[in-house]
Amino acid sequence: MTTATRTTSTTLRIALAVALAVTLLAIAAWAIGRSSVPSAADAQRSQETARSAAYSEALAQESDAAYTSTYDAAFTAGAAAGTTEGTAAGIAAAAAK
Amino acid sequence: MHDSRMIPHVGGTIGAMASHPTPHSEAAALVAHTRTPEPLSAHEDALLRRILAAASFHGAPQLLDQVRGIQLVPAISDAEHRIYIQHPDMPRSTFSAEGRTRIPNTVLIRTPDGHIAAQIDVWVERGHLRAMHIRWAGARVPMTLPNPEWVVVTPAIVPARATVAPSASTTTQPARSVTSRPTPTLPIALPSGRRAARVLVALLVLALAGAVIAGAYALGRSGAADVDAARATGVQQGTAAGTADGQVLGSFRGATEGEIAGRQSTYDAAVVKAQAAALARAKAAAAAKAEAARVAAAAAAAAAAAPRYVSNTNCSGYRDSRGYWICS
């Protein structure tokens, strides 16, 4: 092995060792950086939780509002219908006697 | 073990050198190790000739003439230390006739790009070329000799003086010790520019490694999901769905429950009221009918019993359809 070849081999080994070390450190740094921030799964879970909470709250509010706004009219209509039906039933009952 | 008699194939020249009677002879030990001396390579020959031809001290021409007769002792030589032997009858130089010293010139190996790669010391012992010590500037020692074309011989830095062996006794000393003697401080060193370049390269490598690591860390962090945006989206979606469903559910419940409650609130009373009214009307109708029948019957009876007059002058009553006065 010539001196140039041996020198080149040594330099190549050192370069490969340095490159390997840098690569390993870079992978470790990437993993650390990746683990230090929220992932897509975390965002998905957060979205689902927020959606569920907002759904329940909106459902309750809107349901109460719609219930209140429709109850009175329905009560009036029901009362009228009840009067009509009751009158008919009463007439029928009276006729049956 | 260092006895030359144990080396039967070594004879002639080496044997003569071993027995060469000189005051500071170390030939015995040298011969003991020099089993296979060999001629100089063309490269080494050229290197020595280049050095000695450019040397400027007295006796240099004789040393140059000795190059053709010296042999290398490979058993005790390496890339840095080149140990030579030659026949004792070879004409001696006037330089270092009594001791062992280096040639006074400074011999440098300067590469074409101007860097000093090595310094060469040529040792002369009692007028004979004895060794060549190549002191490389770098940490690594090349396995080949320097290029003769790169030899630069400058005048001596210090005046030439013989470095006489410490003792003139007959104790044998390996020839390798020639190069182990204290040598002056290497006048060459890495040029400041080259050193700075190495430092710069090291710093660049460190900076590059740091940049790569920092880039990898940033790349890892760049994959972060936007939790706030996802949460906001979830709130928006949940609110929309909850609003729609709540309106439907609330309307259905309100309409249903309101209608039922309203119906229940009036049904029973209406039944009772209507029934009572109907019964009352039926009773009234029956009574009216009965009264009408009674009146009609009474009228009929009265009419049948009462006399009919054209004019009612005798009684109170009424006039019938035919014009008769009916007394009641």
Segment B266-307, tens digit of pLDDT:
999 999 999 899 889 888 999 999 999 998 888 888 777 766
User: Coil, strand, or helix at residue B83?
Assistant: strand
Phi, psi of B218 (to 5 degrees): -65, -40
> Does the pLDDT value for residue B192 go beyond 90?
no
Least confident span in B41-55, B174-188, B254-268: B174-188
Is B12's pLDDT higher than 50? no
CA distance B267 to B269: 6
What local confidence, expressed as pLDDT, does residue B318 receive?
A: 76
Residues of chain B contacting residue A76, judged by C-beta atoms under 8 Å apart = 258, 262
Average pLDDT over residues A8-27: 88
Contacts of B147 in chain A (CB under 8 A): none
pLDDT value at position B167?
37
Q: What is the pLDDT of residue A7?
A: 63
Cα separations in angstroms, A64 against B21, B174, B323: 126, 110, 81
What is the tens place of the pLDDT at every residue in B213-271? Answer: 999 999 988 888 889 999 999 999 999 999 999 999 999 999 999 999 999 999 999 99
Task: State both tokens at A95.
Answer: 């006729």
pLDDT at position B191: 53
pLDDT of res. A94: 85
Mean per-residue pLDDT, A47-72: 94
**Quick one: which H or E segment has residue B145?**
none
H helices of chain B, in order, are: 13-18, 27-33, 42-54, 60-66, 192-222, 227-305
Tell me what the pLDDT averaged over chain A comes to: 89
**Across the interface, which of A29, A59, A64 has its CB nearest the CB of B245?**
A59
Higher pLDDT, A63 or B195: A63
Judged by CB atoms closer than 8 Å, whether chains meet at B267 and A83 is answered as yes
Q: Name chain A contacts of B257, Cβ cutoff 8 Å.
A: 67, 71, 74
DSSP B92: P
d(CA B156, CA B170): 32
CA-CA distance, B164 to B168, in Å (whole number)? 9
| CB-based contacts of B312, cutoff 8 Å, min separation 6 | B319, B325, B326, B327
Selected for mutation to probe chain A from B208, B247, B248, B264 (highest A CB count within 10 Å) is: B247
**Interface touch B142/A69, C-beta < 8 Å:** no
Do the chains contact at B262 and A82, CB–CB below 8 Å?
A: yes
Judging contacts by C-beta atoms under 8 Å, the chain B residues touching residue A93 are: 271, 275
Within 8 A of A15 by CB-CB distance, chain B residues are none
Provide the pLDDT for residue B242.
95
- pTM exceeds 0.90: no
Q: How far is B223 from chain A (nearest CA, A)?
A: 7
DSSP-assigned beta bridge partners for residue B82: B132
Which one of A31, A54, A64 has the shortest CB-CB distance to B239?
A54
**Does B242 contact A77 at a Cβ distance shorter than 8 Å?**
no
For the ranges A2-6, B145-149, B176-180, B238-242, the maximum mean pLDDT occurs at: B238-242
Strand B81-85 with B317-319, pairing? unpaired
- Quote the percentage of chain A above a pLDDT of 70: 92
Give bridge partners of residue B106 from the DSSP assignment: B154
Q: What is the ipTM of this complex?
A: 0.74
User: A81 — contact with chain B (CB < 8 Å)?
Assistant: yes
Three-state SS for chain A is CCHHHHHHHHHHHHHHHHHHHHHHHHHHHHHHHHHCCCCHHHHHHHHHHHHHHHHHHHHHHHHHHHHHHHHHHHHHHHHHHHHHHHHHHHHHHHHHC
- Pair type for strands B308-309 and B325-327: antiparallel
Tell me if A59 and B261 make a contact (CB, 8 A cut-off). Answer: no
**Under an 8 A CB cutoff, do A70 and B220 touch?**
no
CA–CA min distance B178, chain A (Å): 25
Stretch (H or E) spanning B318? strand B317-319
Picking from B144, B259, B266, the nearest residue to A83 by CB comes out as: B266
Of the candidates B74, B140, B73, B64, the residue with the CA atom closest to the CA atom of residue B95:
B64
Could you tell me what percentage of chain B is helix, strand and coil, using 3-state DSSP and rounding each to the nearest 5? 50, 15, 35
**β-strand B100-102 against B116-125: which pairing, if any?**
antiparallel
List of chain B residues whose C-beta atoms are within 8 Å of the C-beta of residue A96: none
pLDDT score recorded for residue B157: 53
CB within 8 Å: A33 and B215: no
The percent of residues in chain B predicted with pLDDT above 70, rounded, is 75
Instruction: Tell me if A75 and B261 make a contact (CB, 8 A cut-off).
Output: yes
Among chain B residues, the shortest Cα distance to A10 is held by B140
Interface subset of B 144-183, CB within 8 angstroms of A: 144
Q: How much is the pLDDT for B98? A: 84
